[in-house]
């Protein structure tokens, strides 16, 4: 039976959200203004850490919740919603696909790196739609086994699209966006979205203009809590942060329960600020979906599905630019580098060191492959 993810289905039909589900949202000018009372309790995803070491054939409490997670993001297709705690072959396959998409060691087991990825806040859009994953499209793998039998993978990621590669018609080069009136957003919050749209218009032929006419706008932006009428309820602080619909759906929903930071300065973020979410980083990502891009396995790309709390990532990566220009062409004034102002690129604790380490590991993987 053909299965299509709800966010793809609803992109082509009208959607009217109940005002009762609207949220005024929680906005903070900077991380220091977030009260300690806003630090969240552990989410249901945090409990995944108790599953470390689980493998095929075991029966462990909590695996049913993990199956729900993978089902939601497209990694498996159980015929029933009555999930069990059995570690079956379907779950193992889902884990292996997840590990491939996120450039992890492909073991099919719930090791620490995999579980660490699983609990990260992320976009609510599925990585796999209708059983098809293009996050790992075009990957070239070089693998070898050491004496312990572990496999090391060097892979080249790629941007992806929604099924059928939907895009805005060539005649629509200017798209109108509006904010849900019930949110009554302040101007400094609206300005964040203006900057986010500008990052995409800088590299494409598209332009974006704000309008007050919400229901006739091409792109409708709103903050909502819990079940808000589109079949994709939000889950409170962290977990899923937002989701957006493929063209020409134009619906962009953000979780009103998050602690949204407006000014994007995380340089001096303390480890206690685990609930802080950079608004512009999420906005830039979801606009990519609104324009037709799916998720990418390139960790530096905007379209990478996860975003750790107290992290800022707003500059388009080469992977994002190539993907969006393949849909809409290049801005004639684009010279190969973006010029949008920023408060600081990738200001999450040791990003630069980690990136350098990954590059070294990749080169080492290719070298070892050439010896075998």
Annotated binding residues for Zn(2+), as ranges? 123, 228, 230, 243, 253, 285, 289, 295, 303
Candidates 286, 299, 315, 346; catalytic one: 286
Element (H or E) spanning 177, and its range?
Answer: strand 174-179
Please tell me whether residue 366 adopts helix, strand or coil conformation: helix
Q: Is 286 a catalytic residue?
A: yes
Q: Half-sphere exposure of 258 toward its Cβ, with a 13 Å CA cutoff?
A: 27
Element (H or E) spanning 6, and its range?
Answer: helix 6-9
**Cis previous bond, 248, omega within 30:** yes
**With the C-alpha atoms ordered 312, 166, 254, 220, is the resulting torsion angle positive or negative?**
positive
Tell me the angle at which helices 89-101 and 63-72 cross, rounded to the nearest 10 degrees: 50
Residues in the annotated binding site for Ca(2+): 218, 235-236, 249, 255, 258
With a CB cutoff of 8 Å and minimum separation 6, the contacts of 91 are 56, 63, 66, 67, 70, 76
Element (H or E) spanning 276, and its range?
Answer: strand 276-278
Give the whole-angstrom CA distance, residue 221 versus residue 181.
10
Angle 16-22-27 (CA atoms, 0-180°, nearest 5)? 135
Q: Give the residue among 96, 150, 102, 157 at the shortest CA–CA distance from 368.
A: 150
Residues in the annotated binding site: 123, 218, 228, 230, 235-236, 243, 249, 253, 255, 258, 285, 289, 295, 303
Residue pointed to by tokens 């080492």: 364
Residues carrying an active site annotation: 286
């Amino acid at each position: 039976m053909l299965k299509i993810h709800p966010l793809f289905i609803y992109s082509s039909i009208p959607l009217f959200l109940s005002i009762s589900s609207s949220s005024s949202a929680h906005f903070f000018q900077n991380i220091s203004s977030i009260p300690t009372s806003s630090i969240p309790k552990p989410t249901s995803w945090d409990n995944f850490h108790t599953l470390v070491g689980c493998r095929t054939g075991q029966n462990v409490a909590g695996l049913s919740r993990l199956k729900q997670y993978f089902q939601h993001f497209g990694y498996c297709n159980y015929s029933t919603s009555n999930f069990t705690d059995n570690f079956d072959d379907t779950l193992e396959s889902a884990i292996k696909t997840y590990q491939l998409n996120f450039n992890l060691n492909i073991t099919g087991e719930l090791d620490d790196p995999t579980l660490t990825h699983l609990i990260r806040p992320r976009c609510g859009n599925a990585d796999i739609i209708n059983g098809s994953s293009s996050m790992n499209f075009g990957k070239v793998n070089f693998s070898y086994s050491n004496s312990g039998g572990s496999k090391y993978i060097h892979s080249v990621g790629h941007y992806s699209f929604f099924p059928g590669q939907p895009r805005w018609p060539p005649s629509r080069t200017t798209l109108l966006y509006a904010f849900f009136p019930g949110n009554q957003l302040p101007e400094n919050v609206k300005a964040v979205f203006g900057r986010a749209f500008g990052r995409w218009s800088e590299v494409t032929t598209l332009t974006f203009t704000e309008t007050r006419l919400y229901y006739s706008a091409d792109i409708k932006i709103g903050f909502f809590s819990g079940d808000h009428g589109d079949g994709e309820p939000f889950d409170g602080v962290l977990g899923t942060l937002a989701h957006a619909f493929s063209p020409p759906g134009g619906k962009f929903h953000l979780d009103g329960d998050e602690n949204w930071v407006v000014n994007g300065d995380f340089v001096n973020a303390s480890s206690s600020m685990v609930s802080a979410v950079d608004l512009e980083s999420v906005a830039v990502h979801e606009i990519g979906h609104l324009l037709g891009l799916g998720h990418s396995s390139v960790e530096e790309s905007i379209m990478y599905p996860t975003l750790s709390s107290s992290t800022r990532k707003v500059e388009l990566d080469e992977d994002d630019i190539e993907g969006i220009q393949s849909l809409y062409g290049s801005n004639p004034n684009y010279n190969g580098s973006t010029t949008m102002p920023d408060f600081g690129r990738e200001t999450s604790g040791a990003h630069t060191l980690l990136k350098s380490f990954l590059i070294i590991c990749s080169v080492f993987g290719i070298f070892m492959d050439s010896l075998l």
